[in-house]
Chain A
Amino acid sequence: MEDLFGIVLFFIVIWIISRLANSSSQPVQPGIPLHFEVNLQDTRRETNDHSFVVKEVLAIGLLPVVKAINLGIYISVLDGNRPVLCHIEAFQEPESSAYQVRTEIGVVGPNQGFAEWSPVAGIIPEILHPPYSGLRQFKMVIRLVDSSNPPPIMLGFVKTPEHSGLIWEKTITFTHNFTEKGYLEIAEDRKTAVTLFLKMAMAVAMSDGNLHKQEGFAIQKSVLRLLTSYSGEEKQTMKKLCNQALKEGYIESRQGTLNLESLARSLNGIGNQQFKYEALQFCTDVMTADGVADPSELALLHRIGDLLGLGMQQIKGIIDRGLVKPGIEISGAANPDEVLGIDPSWNGERIKKHFLAEFRKWNGRLNTLPEGCERDNAQRMLNLIAEARKKHE
C-alpha cells in the first residue's frame, strides 16, 4: 500500500465506488448455466512503475432473482470473526470503517445472468487493514443484494440475516501477507503511546513550573477526544491508563524526575511514525491552550521533536500550525531564538539562512491569511524574526 500511494500523485477526487468492469453492469441474455457461481482470480495491474494485485470476483450463471430488482454486489472481508478495515472512505461501510465495496449492477430480472465468467467486482488487498500482520487467511463475503432495499451490514456481518434485501451470499477464502502492523496490534501499541505522550504533554505544560487551568483543560479535552474511539470495558481501561499517566506525569514534573529522553525512546521503540506526530501535536495543543506560546515551552517542543527523530521541517510544520491558531499570543521577546527553533550550535551562516527561510515563509503566509488573529500572529512572527536577527548581527 505504501508503494501504491508513493507512485500516485493525484487530485482530490470525488470517490465513486468501483464498478470494476463494464461488462458486469450489462445484464445478460437468458440461456446459460443455471447455477449462479462466483470465483476469485488474481489479476496484476500496472500504474506506471508500480504493479499490484487485484482480486477480481468473477461470476457465471443465472442470477438468483425471482423478480426484477436493482441488483448490487456487496463485498466484505473478515479475518476470522473480526472485520478487515480500510482507511479509504469510499471503501468503507456506511457506518463503520470496515472494508466494503459496493458494485451496482443495475436492474435485472429472472432469466438473466452471465454466459461466461465475467468480472463483477474486485478488491485490492493492499488497501485492506487487517487486525494482525503476517500471512493472514481472509474470508471474502460476497453478497447479492437488492440495492433499493439493502440489508444493514455492520463490521462485515448482516445484522438481520432474514432481511428480504439479501438475495444470495457466498464466502471465499484467500490469503495475503501483510508486513505492516494490524489494527489490533496498533491499538495495543497505542495504549502505550498514549501514556507516553500524555506525560510529554504534561512536561510541556509544566515547563514554566505550573499547570495552568487552560493547559489542564486542554489535556483533559484531548483525553476525552481520545476516549471517544473506545467503548465499554476498553474505554474504562483507557480512562484509568490516561488518568494514571497524567498523575504520574504531574508528580514527576514537579519533582523534576520526568525523563523526556526515556519517554521519547519508548515512543520511538514502538516504531509508529504517526504516534510521534500525534505526540508533538498533542504537546503543541497543550502549549497553545493558555493562549501564550511561552519561549521555554516552544524550546521544549523543539526538543521533543528532536528526541522523536522528527526533522526540523516536520517539527516546525506542526508547531507553526499551533502558532497561527486564533488567540495565540507569542510571548517571550526575551528569547526569540527559541521561538524560531534556532539551535545554539549553528554557525552564523546557518542562522542567517534560517532567518531568511523563516522570513520568506511567514511573509508569504501573511499575504494569504485573512485579516484577524492568525494574520496578526504571522505579523508577530515577522517582528520576532527581525528581533532575533538584530540580536545575531
Chain B
Amino acid sequence: MGSFIGIDLGTTFSALARIDETGRPVIVHNSDGQNLMPSCVEVENSETVHVGSEARQAFGLGSENAAGRFKRKMGTSEVYKLAGQRFTPTDLSALVLQKLVNDACLTIGDIEEVVVTIPANFANDAREATLQAARKAGLNIKYIINEPTAAALGYLDRENLNLQGIYAVYDLGGGTFDISIIRVEKHEVEVLCSSGVHDLGGMDFDKKLREIVARKYKEIATDELEPEDYTNLEAEGDKKSLSDRNKITTRVNRTAIDITRQEFEEAISSLVTQAELLCESTIEEAGLKVSNIREVLCAGGSTRVPIVRESIKRMFGRDPICSVNVDEVVALGAALYAAYKGNRSKLSDAQKERIDRLNVSECANKYYGTIALERDMSGQPKAMNSILIEKNSKIPCSVTKSYFTGYENQTAVACSVTECSDNETDPRFVTIRANAELDLPPGRPAGQEIEVTFSYDANQIMRCSFVDVETQEERKLELRLATLEDSVETDINKFTVE
C-alpha cells in the first residue's frame, strides 16, 4: 500500500510529510537526515545536478551555477542559466520535488498520492506552473492546496489544542505571506476568507538587513558592498541571530559591523505593516472583527521574528499559537489533505478513522467574471469586468446573471472568463482565463438575453456556460483552477540526479 504525502514546496525550504499507520501526519526526513530541504538547485555539468543543502551552499556563495528562491518566479518567463543550460522556475521546482520524493521513497517506499501546497495568493499562472512542476517530477498529483489551509489542517490534527471557533492562520514564509480566516467545528475546517501578498517573506527581511549592512559598510570601510562580501546565507543567518539577540556583530572583509535588533526592526517595519494591512483587510472581507478571532495559528519560519510576533499580538490582542513546528505544519496538513482527497479505499482502518472525520471546505480565492460593455464615467460604452463569483464565496457555488445584446442583428457575443484578486472593473487589471464566442442568429432586435452561469465545484473546477435564451444555443467553458486530472510525459530525466 502506497503512502499519501503532502509537500510544502517553499521559497527557501521544502518539506515532505506522510500519513503514518495511525492516520497522523509525520515529516519524512530527507537523505541528509533533515526535516527541511533547502529549495536550491546547483547544476555542476550536463549530467550532475545537486538539490538541497549542497546547492544551498553554492547559492549562498553566489555561484552562478546555483539557483534558489525561484518560487517567486513561478509562472513567469524567467529563465535561469546554470552551467550553460536553461531552466525555468518550473524546471527547478520539478527538481526540488523530485529530490524530495526520491529521498522519501527510500524510507517509505511507494507513493500513492501527492498534494503540493501553494500560497493562497498565487496567480493562476503560478498555480499551473506548480502543477506542471509536479508533473515533470513524475508525481501522481491531482490536487494542490493553499498553504494556510494546509497549516490549519496541521493544527487541527493536534488534539491537545481542541480547536473550536474562528481562527486566523498567519503564514509568513520565506517568500510569501498568506492569511486565512477559518471556522473550525470539531474536525471540520471551513475557509471563510484567504488573502496573500506575493512578495513578502523572509527573503525580503534578508534584503533589508543587507541594506543596513551595505550602508554601514560604506560608512566604516568607505567602500561599496559587493554581493560576495555579504552573502544571502550570511544575511539569513544574521537575521535568525537577531531573533534571539538584541545586537550582533557581523564581519564583512574584516570590517566588524554592529547591527541592533531595533535597526533591523525599523528596516522591516514597513513590510510588517503590509502584513497587518492584509490581516485587517482579510478580516474585514470575511465580515468579521478582530474580536471574533479566537486565536492566531502561525506557520512559516518568518513568524519566529520577534517584531512579527509583536505585531500579531498588537493586532489580535493575544500571543499567537506556534505549538506545531511552524516550518513543518504546512507539509503535515498537506499530507492529511492528500489522504482526505485521495482514494480512501487504500487507507488502513486506523487511517480511515482519522481521515473520514475530516471535512474541509474552501472558498473562492479570486473574483471570477466576464467582460461586458457598460457605460463608463463619461457615459461612453466601455469594456468592463463584470463579476459573477465573488472572492471568498463558499465553494461549491453557482451564479447566474443575465446580459443583453446591444444591437440589432448582433450575430455573436464574446464569452470570456476573467479572474482578479480585487473587485476590479478595469479589464487591464484582470486575467482572461478563457475566451470563446457564441454565435447568434441574425435578424433579431437588440436586448436578446444571454444567460451566463459560473459554477465552481468542490474540486475547484469552474464550469461556465453562456446561453442564448431564445434559441438555447450554449457555449461551455471549463476551467480547472486547482486540480489536474490528466498527466503528460515527463522530461525531467535530463536533469536526473545521479
Which of A124, A277, A366, A386 is within 8 Å of B378, CB to CB? A277
A179 at the interface (CB under 8 A from B): no
**In the complex, A148 has a CB within 8 A of chain B:** no
Give the contacting residue for B377; candidates A5, A273, A321, A367; CB below 8 A: A273
Q: Which of A90, A356, A364, A386 contacts B420 (CB 8 A)?
A: A364
Q: What are the residues of chain A within 8 A of B373 when measuring CB–CB?
A: 8-13
* Residues of B within 8 A of A (CB-CB), count: 65
Tell me if B413 and A13 are in contact (CB < 8 A): yes
Q: Known A359-B278, A364-B422, A364-B424; judge A18-B409 contact (CB<8 A).
A: yes
Q: Which B residue sits closest to A21, measured CB to CB? A: B443
**Chain A proximity mask over B338-359: 1 for CB below 8 Å, otherwise 0:** 0000000000000000000000
Q: Which residue of B lies closest to A385 (CB)?
A: B277
Say whether A277 contacts B371, CB under 8 Å.
Answer: no
A314 x B429 contact (CB < 8 A): no
Q: Mark A362-375, 1 if CB is under 8 A from B, else 0.
A: 01111111110000
Given A11-B414, A13-B412, A317-B426, A386 and B407 contact (CB-CB distance below 8 Å): no
Give the complex CA separation of A88 and B409 in angstroms.
Answer: 14
Question: Which residues of A sit under 8 angstroms from B422, Cβ to Cβ?
Answer: 360-361, 363-365
Point out which of B274, B280, B370 has the most chain A C-beta atoms below 10 A from its C-beta.
B274
Q: How far is the CA of A317 from the CA of B383 in the complex (A)?
A: 15
Tell me, rounded to whole Å, the shortest Cβ–Cβ distance linking A367 to chain B: 5
The interface on chain A, measured as residues whose beta carbon lies within 8 A of the other chain's beta carbons, has a size of: 60
Is B431 interfacial (CB-CB < 8 Å)? Answer: yes
Residues A364 and B429 in contact, CB atoms below 8 Å apart:
yes
A14, B277: Cβ atoms closer than 8 Å? no
Q: Are B371 and A356 in contact (CB under 8 A)?
A: no
- Give the complex CA separation of A5 and B375 in angstroms: 7
Asked if A20 and B386 sit within 8 Å, CB to CB, the answer is no
CB distance from A70 to the nearest CB of B (A): 18
- Are B409 and A20 touching (Cβ within 8 A)? yes
Q: A379 at interface (Cβ–Cβ under 8 A)?
A: yes
Are A390 and B404 closer than 8 Å at their CB atoms? Answer: no
A16 at the interface (CB under 8 A from B): yes
Known contacts being A5-B375, A9-B373, is A14 close to B414, with CB within 8 Å? yes
Does B406 have its Cβ within 8 Å of any Cβ on chain A?
A: yes
Q: Which B residues, 404 to 421, have Cβ-Cβ distances below 8 Å to chain A?
A: 404-416, 420-421
Asked whether any CB of chain B lies closer than 8 Å to the CB of A19, the reply is yes
A236 close to chain B: CB less than 8 A: no
Assembled-state Cα–Cα distance A379/B381 (Å) = 31
B221-229, B249-257, B265-273 - interface stretch:
B265-273
User: B305 contacts which chain A residues (CB < 8 A)?
Assistant: none
In this assembly, does A45 line the interface, its C-beta being within 8 Å of a C-beta of chain B? yes
1/0 contact trace for A18-36 toward B, CB 8 Å?
1111100000000000000
- The answer to whether A369 and B429 touch (CB under 8 A), given A14-B414, A359-B278, is yes
Measured CA separation A2–B376 after assembly (Å): 12
Nearest CB in chain A: distance from B468 CB, A: 11
> With A363-B278, A365-B424, A386-B273 as given contacts, are A11 and B284 in contact (CB-CB < 8 Å)?
no
A87–B375 alpha-carbon span in the complex (Å)? 13
Q: Are A47 and B281 in contact (CB under 8 A)?
A: no
Residues of B within 8 A of A10 (CB): 372-373, 403-406, 410, 413, 450
Give the distance in Å from the alpha carbon of A363 to the alpha carbon of B77 in the complex.
Answer: 21
Contact present for A386 and B270 (CB under 8 Å): yes
B447 and A8 within 8 A (CB): yes
**Pairwise interchain contact B404-A317, C-beta atoms closer than 8 A:** no
B383 and A5 within 8 A (CB): no
> Would you give 13 A-B contacts (Cβ < 8 Å), ordered by A?
A9-B386, A10-B406, A13-B407, A17-B409, A19-B442, A45-B445, A48-B447, A356-B277, A359-B274, A363-B195, A364-B421, A368-B424, A390-B269
- Given A5-B406, A11-B413, A368-B431, 7 more A-B residue pairs with CB atoms under 8 Å apart are A9-B403, A10-B372, A12-B372, A16-B412, A365-B421, A370-B76, A382-B274
